[in-house]
Amino acid sequence: MQLGRVGLWTFQLDLQPASAAREAATELDELGYSTLWLPEAVGREPFVNSALVLSSTERMVVATGIASVWARDAMTMAAGHLTLSEAFPGRFLLGVGVSHQPMVDHVRGHHYEKPLGKMRSYLDEMDRAIYVAPRPPDEPRRVLAALGPKMLQLAAERALGAHPYFVPVEHTAVAREVLGDGPMLCPEQAVVLSTDPDEARAAARQHMGTYLTLPNYTNNLRRLGWTDDDLGDGGSDRLVDAIVAWGDEAAIVERIQAHLAAGADHVCLQVLSSDATVLPMAEWRTLAPAVLSL
């Protein structure tokens, strides 16, 4: 499975008609992006969505970032993973995670449990799930959404590696130390292709608002030394600039290189814009020559 050093992470395809999303994915594949990460929240079902994108592309890997353990039982998750891995050999990567308590309790109507124990038992159930359809030619690959040291250790033990989300470069260095050599480290990096500080930080704060209300993310930032002063009022400028890279192509490349130097194997770029309902095709096209040569 060839993820490349830089891929794209986007929820914007969920906001488009399926035909437009598939057309965009085809162009991204032709531009040379090797991996496309698709979310699960309140949009499209990620296995169906991945199948739509995989059938519209020829080379790129499609990854879920992430499929929630609360959205389906472990047997169903394993079946979806095996189905797509067999249908598109070497081109589907399952990113799986425990989501967040507000989403689990209030949106899905489940009861959030201790994340580490839930994930460990869920992986056990996936690994022993009955599946009688044709199996993929190679072992299907998965990564875990992981922030804290215990979940990162589990990712090293039970998966290809980890997919941290909403993290600064300093987390990448910490995650690599915990993972050790070998496991893949694929952090998400939000970016704004603008050299105007006010415009860029406004787009960044719009993106960050919800995440700064979720304890999994704020606790992770506090472990890294960020304070309540940084986390309040939409985030301090220093935190905004650490979470969201902004500037021209060179500035975006510099942030990617910082992650790679800190131990990342693959960086998932999430391109932000002032209107999330509009696909950032122009930005994806502009960034391609700069980031895909890394």
Question: Does residue 224 belong to any structural domain of this protein?
Answer: yes
Tell me if 279 is assigned to some domain.
yes
Euclidean distance between CA atoms 62 and 3, whole angstroms:
9
- DSSP string across 124-140: HHHHT----SPPPSS--
Tell how strand 141-144 and strand 161-162 pair up. parallel
Domains contained in the chain, number: 1
**Cα(170)–Cα(256) distance, integer angstroms:** 13
Cα(67)–Cα(47) distance, integer angstroms: 8
pLDDT score of 269: 98
Give the pLDDT of residue 106: 85
> Which residues are within 8 A (CB) of 213 and not within 5 positions of it... i.e. 6 or more apart?
102
Residue 149 lies in a domain: yes
Residue 212 to residue 229: CA distance in whole angstroms? 12
Residue 204 falls within a domain, yes or no? yes
CATH of the domain at 45: 3.20.20.30
Structure tokens at 223: 């472990």
Q: What is the spatial distance between Cα 280 and Cα 7, in angstroms, rounded to a whole number?
A: 15
On whether residue 1 sits in a domain, the answer given is: no
Please report, in tens digits, the pLDDT of each residue of the chain (294 residues total).
899 999 999 999 999 999 999 999 999 999 999 999 999 999 999 999 999 999 999 999 999 999 999 999 999 999 999 999 999 999 999 999 998 888 878 888 988 889 999 999 999 999 999 999 999 999 999 999 999 999 999 999 999 999 999 999 999 999 999 999 999 999 999 999 999 999 999 999 999 999 999 999 999 999 999 999 999 999 999 999 999 999 999 999 999 999 999 999 999 999 998 888 899 999 999 999 999 999
**Residue 168 belongs to some domain of the structure:** yes
One-character DSSP codes across 261-290: HHT-S-EEEEE--S-TTS--HHHHHHHHHH
Whether 35 is in a domain gets the answer: yes
Residues 2 and 90: their CA atoms lie apart, in Å, by 8
Residues 6+ apart with CB under 8 A from 75: 125, 126, 129, 130
Residue 174: per-residue pLDDT: 98
Confidence at residue 102, expressed as pLDDT on a 0 to 100 scale: 83
**pTM of the full predicted structure?**
0.96
Parent domain of 186: 6-291
